[in-house]
Copies of this chain bind each other. A is one copy, B any other.
Amino acid sequence: MAILVVGSVAFDSLETPSGKRERVLGGAATHFALAASFFTDVRVVGVVGEDFLPEHEAVLTSKGIDTTGIERAPGLSFHWTGSYVKDLNAADTLATDLNVFAEFAPKIPESYKDSEFLFLANIDPVLQLQVRKQMPNVKMVAGDTMNYWIAAHKENLLPVLKELDVLLINDNEARMLSGGLNGLRAAEKVLTMGPKSLIVKFGEHGSAAFYGERSFADGVKRRPFRAHTVLLDEVVDPTGAGDSFAGGFYGYIASQKELTPEVFRTAMFYGSVMGSFAVEKFGTERLQNTTREEVDERFEQLREISHL
């Protein structure tokens, strides 16, 4: 079933220990959509500028991703400049040029209205809520956010959290959102804020799912689940790892009949798998050139390295 994702479609200028790249295609919605496209239909809502060329659109459309909802605006696309030279696990933002994104008001095409899964990628929570309200009948809503919105726009973020079936954040964001707690305690606190389930990502150290009573249809609260990452020879560019995790995770869920605990766990593994591809090359290069066979192979690898 189709996923509607709203978020940034952007250009990234990156420096990592492996090298430098100028203005490669990026953005949360782009990484999410590419990763999810291995599992289900994906429809993107976003805005780009005049620098978004047919070759960029083809990266998405060649994977069957619906770009009807990507609005064209005069000016330049959102452009992020970051460095991972000091620490591969923590991006150092050198510049954020919002450009056309500054005036973004998401509009949902008619043809997207029957989407059953909604993903609110990391954007202004005011916009996340607007999109949610335009899609009242979706079966499931998942979303991401970041430290900036937690620190400076918490009053706008809180109503979004109440709308979410699954919130995906990293461990630092979980700590911020919980008011300084760690681990299990942070997760339990965040669950009281609205999301039915919570995924906390630990970068190279994998991820954990935390459940509430409302996570599954039977109303039974379950123990957390943990997924490793795939061990890689080299991480070339961590940009988009979290969005690709979300795409693999949510794409797999959207491809299944219902959300059982087993589907959730398997989705976590597919999230790890897609995140592992994302970081092997700069930008979207590796996700563009990944095959479904490679996805399945790496899934089996993840099972092998984690199961007794």
- A-side interface residues toward B, CB under 8 Å? 183-185, 202, 204-206, 208, 223-226, 228, 231-234, 262, 265-266, 269, 301, 303-308
CB-based contact B308/A233 at 8 Å:
no
Instruction: Given the known inter-chain contacts A185-B233, A224-B305, A308-B269, please indicate yes or no for A205 contacting B205, CB distance below 8 A.
Output: yes
Distance of A279 from chain B, by nearest CB (Å):
12
* B residues near A205, Cβ cutoff 8 Å: 202, 205-206
Among B223, B228, B231, B307, contact of A301 (Cβ-Cβ < 8 Å): B223
A234 to B183, CA, bound (A): 8
Residues A307 and B305 in contact, CB atoms below 8 Å apart: no
Complex: chain B residue closest to A210, CB-CB:
B231
- List the 3 shortest-distance A-B pairs measured between CB atoms, nearest first: A205-B205, A226-B228, A226-B305
Q: Would you list 19 pairs from A and B whose C-beta atoms are within 8 A, ordered by A residue?
A: A183-B204, A183-B231, A184-B231, A184-B233, A185-B233, A202-B205, A205-B205, A206-B228, A208-B231, A225-B305, A225-B306, A226-B228, A226-B305, A226-B306, A228-B228, A262-B308, A266-B308, A306-B306, A307-B307
* Docked complex Cα distance between A140 and B189 (Å): 46
| Chain B residues positioned under 8 Å from A224 (CB to CB) | 231, 305
What residues of B have a CB within 8 angstroms of the CB of A231 in the complex? 183-184, 208, 224, 226
